[in-house]
Amino acid sequence: MRNYAVIGDPVGHSRSPGMQNAAFEHYRLGSPYVKRHVRPGELGAFVEEARRTLAGFNCTVPHKSAIIPYLDEVDPKALAASSVNTVTVREDGTLAGTSTDGYGLEMALETNFGRPLAGAEVCFIGCGGAAHATSFHLAERGVRTIRLANRTLSKAEELAEKLRAANPGLAVETALPSDSDTLARWFAATDFLIQATSLGLRETDPAPFDLGLLRPGLRMAVFDTIYLDTPVLRKARQAGLPAAGGAAMLLYQGAKSFEIWTGLAAPIDAMRAGMEGNSSC
């Protein structure tokens, strides 16, 4: 059996191998999933190797957009979002790409907060790959408003234009995360706040926005795509707001990748244990 991999730069922190191998072991298919450190300049050579040796692979930073020109087929939604995290290598060596990040976020919000997406107002902090892939998915699921705060305002405006073009009737607003007056107004009308930057991976990171804006009485649930206990999450809980980290998003996007590759139902409990390092496999 050919192998599977997750590629990134860096990739050493990834929990995907433990999670995916737990799923393969559940079906007695061995442990074929590995980490591969692939730098940007090495992506082309990796793709040619993958055509011959892999059955599929996941992409993480910084390859989710860069992989697209190498693919033979791309799901239209992933192409519109310029973000692919799941690649299937067919028997003839052709590559098909899609994104499971949006599904992962949808399931994470549902399992953690139990609130409907349809008609919701969502605010993203950060407009990188995570926000691109997931904002398109949430728009498809019927959210009413998407607000985008990004340090480079032009990138937020670029994503906003793509969202408006693909989703007529969707309200999209943009701002700088340093614009606390605008964020305060947004937060008063937000159902889900999605922290989608890498700020919070290290304790020395600056806050992605003024955390004093997370105050008691807001109706919003706070989700951080980082699967650590970040300052954003701690401040949200102190303010009495529902809050959750990115573990469930990782779990469900990985489960969808497994199902795409194998056609088998993802064993969620086994994958959760593998992700947490508690797999008995």
In this structure, whether the domain defined by 102-245 belongs to CATH 3.40.50.720 is answered with: yes
CA distance readout (Å), 193 to 2, 115, 198, 260: 40, 13, 15, 29
Q: What are phi and psi of 147, to 5 degrees?
A: -115, 135
Q: What are phi and psi of 243, to 5 degrees?
A: -145, 145
Binding site per annotation, positions for NADP(+): 150-155, 225, 246
Cβ atoms < 10 Å from Cβ of 194: 27
Of 86, 97, 115, 37, the closest CA to residue 266 belongs to 86
**What is the chain's pLDDT, residue by residue, as a tens digit (281 residues)?**
689 999 999 898 889 999 999 999 999 999 999 999 999 999 999 999 999 999 999 999 899 999 999 999 999 999 988 999 999 999 999 999 999 999 999 999 999 999 999 999 999 999 988 899 899 999 999 999 999 999 999 999 999 999 999 999 999 999 999 999 999 999 999 999 999 998 888 889 999 999 999 999 999 999 999 988 999 999 999 999 999 999 999 999 999 999 999 999 999 999 999 998 854 33
Q: From CA 163, how far away is CA 158, in angstroms rounded?
A: 9
Handedness of CA 149, 154, 155, 156 (dihedral sign): positive
In terms of residues, how long is the chain?
A: 281
Binding site per annotation, positions for shikimate: 14-16, 60, 85, 101, 227, 253
* Partner residues linked to 4 by β-bridges: 33, 56
Q: Which residue has the tokens 């607000």?
A: 147
Of 114, 113, 111, 166, the closest CA to residue 135 belongs to 166
Position 277, amino acid: G
- Which pLDDT score, from 0 to 100, does residue 219 have? 97
* Partner residues linked to 195 by β-bridges: 125, 224
* Partner residues linked to 59 by β-bridges: 7
CA distance readout (Å), 115 to 119, 177, 221: 11, 25, 9
- Which pLDDT score, from 0 to 100, does residue 55 have? 98
Cβ distance 37 to 9 under 8 Å?
yes
Same fold, 3-99+248-275 and 102-245: yes
State the burial class of residue 258 (Cβ atoms within 10 Å of its Cβ: 0-12, 13-18, 19+). Answer: buried
**Could you read off the pLDDT of 43-78 as tens digits, one per residue?**
999 999 999 999 999 999 899 999 999 999 999 999
The DSSP call for residue 266 is P
Q: From CA 61, how far away is CA 65, in angstroms rounded?
A: 9
- Which pLDDT score, from 0 to 100, does residue 281 have? 32
* Domains of the chain, residue spans: 3-99+248-275, 102-245
Position 41, amino acid: G
From the candidate CATH numbers 3.40.640.10, 3.40.50.10860, 3.40.50.620, 3.20.20.140, the one assigned to the domain spanning 3-99+248-275: 3.40.50.10860
Catalytically active residues are 64
Of 64, 109, 47, the closest CA to residue 247 belongs to 109
DSSP codes joined into one string, 136-187:
HHHHHTT-SEEEEE-SSHHHHHHHHHHHHHHSTT-EEEEE-TT-HHHHHHHH
Q: From CA 35, how far away is CA 57, in angstroms rounded?
A: 10
Cβ distance 96 to 72 under 8 Å?
yes
